[in-house]
Structure 1
Amino acid sequence: MKVLLVYNESTVEGKGNIDLFSVQRELKRLGHTPVIVARRDGKAGDGIYAMFPDPMKAFFSLPLLASRMAGIIRHEKPDIIVAEGGWYIPCLISFANRGRIPVVYVFRGLVLEVLVAFHAKSLIVKAAARLFIAINYRIFRKEKQHLVGTNTSICKFYRERLQRPVELVGTHLMDLAKFKPMSEEDRKATRARFSITLEGTAVLYSGAMEEWHLPYLTDLAKAVAELVAKGKQVQLVVMGWGSCRDRFADKLKEIHALSPSFSSVMLPFMQHEDVPKIIASCDVCVDPLLRPYPMDHAPAGKLMEYMACGACVVTTKGYSNEELVQDHKNGLLVDGTYAALSAALEELVGDQQLVCSLGAAARETVMIYFASINKSVALERYLKKVAEEGG
């Protein structure tokens, strides 16, 4: 079976979401032929088309993109198209495919809804997000569309919005042989390689750095600086990307100027093979985002990566997070306030026995909940069924 994967992600591993490449690898392992269409900020290659511009720029070039996408579909002749259900992708597929090839739309996140709800400061961005939402929802409500969510919370969100079935089929196929705890020797070597402290507690933030992340990230940095001021040995490690990465780097410099003993490491873009190593080398991993509505339905992909590596997690309360984390059993759940985040970090820093026990329980949770082979088989079975039904 040839599967065309259409995602608004980078073709550079380590810069984009790991979801795209894990799906590609698993489909190959099962004997299928995956073809990727993704963003153009990387090189095209065998079975990879790098063509999508920034989402805001794509709005003005949709006819051209649709024409090129139609050409790719004619050339590749896929049995099925698996497309991200966000931004302009559904609109693009609708224009290019015209119902010829069966399409599965995958809901992985709530970027558009979040921009409209409370994050975007620009009226232009809000207006564009509203327009894409209206177009996409109209496409999704068509009777023959196949809609999939990556966890129960996001399925629930879209079922309520669309009044249509949204099936739970895990497409975030984590390789548990790569996302795993590491030996103490490898842990020290990884820390030394990336200038992470060999003494004390390393607190990792991994994820996007956009406008709406800054208040939370600033709180995280201040909480770490506060612990350092109390004599705790702790370092903040930051791994991620986004339009506000430089602004957050400047904020870290400001905090360091006020608290010279504050220590932080801003890592460069990582290749995907290094991502699990960084996670496993750190002691405490903090979930990237506060969870006000509608983000309380957002997927917990990064959280699962933390847990699979045996890291002790601190995450905010919310539907998708609480599907995985039980407070003080396999991680800590906080209410999203600075006080709660600070208290959670203070409880963990310096208590290596607690950190290790929660991390081991987190790994066990993911091993049970997130067995890759089961997810792979379920995804393959679903795609075969849709392909057989036709467009």
Structure 2
Amino acid sequence: MVVTVIGIGADGWEGLPHASRHEIASCEVLMGSARQLDLVPGAFERVPWPSPLVPALPGLLERYEGRRVGVLASGDPMFHGIGTTLVRLLGASRVRVVPHPSSVSLACARLGWALDDVDVVSLVGKPAALLVPHLHPGRRVLVLGGNPREVAALAPDARLTVLEQLGGPGERVHHSLDDADPLHVLAVECGADGASLTPGRPDDLYEHDGQLTKREVRAVTLSLLAPRPGELLWDVGAGAGSIAVEWCRTHPSCRAIAVEQHPERAARITRNATTLGVPGISVVVGASPGVLDLEVLDLEAPDAVFIGGGLTAEGVVERCWDALKPGGRLVANAVTLESEAVLTRWHARLGGDLTRIEVSRATAIGGFTGWRPQMPVTIWAVIKENV
């Protein structure tokens, strides 16, 4: 069974080229949203999408096995569309895609923006906080499925444009945030505000109770963890979650699981992640190493592990090392003699690098300025391939 996915715009049948019309006309069964199905003529069996869609897809496709099945998709099916979902489910060889201009292409055409110089963020079924890492001075962002008022609250100095019903007879481009059609794209021209994606964000951006990897040490730690797109981090003994947050901010596809035994700190991690634009961080509440069980908690094996707390608990390093993927990086920080001794033993056993960092910050001393030292931090970094 090969499923044909046909892109269609807000202008419906009239806006389709001959090839797309031919594909639709040859279908026995046509699936899509009720709105999309109403856009096309034909005597085929029409199947509106159930809700929720993704869990129902395997059974739905199995029901129509052996028949010529077509699927309608908004714009380009392979751009945040049903086409990518079907390819994941069936494989590329069983999905044929007939694309149409995407809403992003149409929006850039209307605005005069270069498509290759625009960030695109989909907020369809997702929290608006995901937009935060994309808000940089002078940048242009197109938001799919976002609530205009929520976006405006995140970017108060930005210029927002609503582009609705693009390509259809009801197309409208305006700046009224309270009068947006549900089928719209939101264009964001960022102002002067915005935060760097470089690790080592200011400490006062985090809500914490003192259990925070300070910015200078955090920057070094992230450089040793070396995040790459799509990778997963375990942040063990996460405290305020700053390592997990800054790991995820390096690339939208980076993921993290923060492990923290204190419920109040775990709640802070969630708030910090949301405030700083990476609300997808998963927080596991429990004591290590017991909570770090791949089978019991169905945890995914990590590409990198950071141990910021709980080093002296028996079995923590072993469990993290065993779970780590081949080629993965493990980094652990110690501030006490006892935790430093643990790192020294593991360094002797597995190798890697030991580094000691001492940072002093200038502070007021009466009417003068002097250096106030912070606690020195010992960092052990090792790659699993080294063993």
Please, what TM-score do these two structures have when normalized by structure 2?
0.27
Taking structure 1 as the reference length, the TM-score comes to: 0.27
Whose helix fraction is larger, Structure 1's or Structure 2's?
1
Q: Larger RCO: Structure 1 or Structure 2 (Cα < 8 Å, ≥ 6 residues apart)?
A: 1
Considering fraction of residues, name the structure with more strand. 2
